[in-house]
A and B are shown apart, each in its own frame.
Chain A
Amino acid sequence: MHQTPHNVTAELEEGAIRLRVDREIYPLPAIYGASYVFIDRCFVFLERDGEGRVVVTLQARDPNPAEEALRALVGEFSNELLSCAWRHQITAENRHLIEAVTSQALAGAMGPPSLDDLASFDFTSDGFEDPLGIAQSWEEKHGRKNKAQEAGAAGAGEEEGGR
């Protein structure tokens, strides 16, 4: 029996290697991912043992493989397993972000709103409060007033002066 560093034990058989993978450390999608990578190099069979582990049998395509080649498969499969487990964890951690970006992209792909959408849109709500008048234009704030405003302002000044 060959003990690898990541709780994967391997047994050498005739023309094949059997690895027992702890599912508490390596989730099933990671085991699937690593197995998929090796399908073009080996015949891959998955089984379950009674202890919650998955038994991965890698059978060499060559009927008489060298023992060194089989032992090398253990290390390569373990590396791939670790890589797939890590990618699986990253995907799980970023799932909300991926879903948000995807839904925004799909919403953008739906195109601009139609006239009916605009007609039914509620424009009455104020976007934000502007107590300092930051959003006002220079003309609105300091520009020349029109004649009616000037006359109103002058009348108000005369009334104040007459008092």
Chain B
Amino acid sequence: MMTLRFSRALYAGEAVDEALGAFAHLVTAERSATAEAWELRLTCLYPAHTRRIVGELGNYALARTIERGGAL
């Protein structure tokens, strides 16, 4: 299990949710929020590919944030 933190000032919460939805077949996730960040506790269903799956999930969340016009 690993924890990913996405700063609220830089990532849109909806974009993080979309990324989780898109990768639901590859990871199981517990989502929580702090005042500063969206936190995801991830367990990859294919441990050998964890690095790539986490990287692609992060890219997806960032791309959707940018396409939405930013975090706010």
A interface residues, Cβ below 8 angstroms from B: 28-29, 32-33, 35-36, 39, 43-48, 54, 59, 61, 63
Q: Which of A33, A35, A45, A61 has the most CB of B within 10 A?
A: A45
Q: Is the CB of B66 within 8 A of A47?
A: no
Q: Do B55 and A35 touch (CB < 8 A)?
A: no
Complex Cα spacing A123 to B50, Å:
73
Q: How many A-B residue pairs have CB under 8 A?
A: 40
A127 to B56, CA, bound (A): 64
**B-side interface residues, number (CB < 8 Å):** 17
Chain B residues with CB under 8 Å of A29's CB are 70
Can you list 24 A-B contacts with CB-CB less than 8 angstroms, sorted by A residue number?
A28-B10, A29-B70, A32-B70, A33-B66, A35-B62, A36-B63, A36-B66, A39-B59, A39-B62, A39-B63, A43-B54, A43-B55, A43-B59, A44-B58, A44-B59, A44-B62, A45-B58, A46-B7, A46-B10, A46-B62, A47-B7, A54-B10, A61-B52, A63-B51
With A and B bound together, what is the CA distance between A114 and B23 in angstroms? 53
CB distance from B3 to the nearest CB of A (A): 13
Residues of B within 8 A of A61 (CB): 52, 55
Q: In the complex, which of the residues B10, B52, B55, B63 contacts A47, with contact meaning CB atoms closer than 8 Å?
A: B10
Please state if B70 and A43 are interface contacts (CB–CB under 8 Å): no
Question: B33 contacts the other chain (Cβ, under 8 Å)?
Answer: no
Residues of B within 8 A of A44 (CB): 58-59, 62
Nearest first, the 6 A-B pairs at minimum CB distance are A43-B55, A46-B10, A32-B66, A39-B59, A36-B66, A48-B7
Contact with A along B27-68 (1 / 0, CB 8 A): 000000000000000000000000110111011001101100
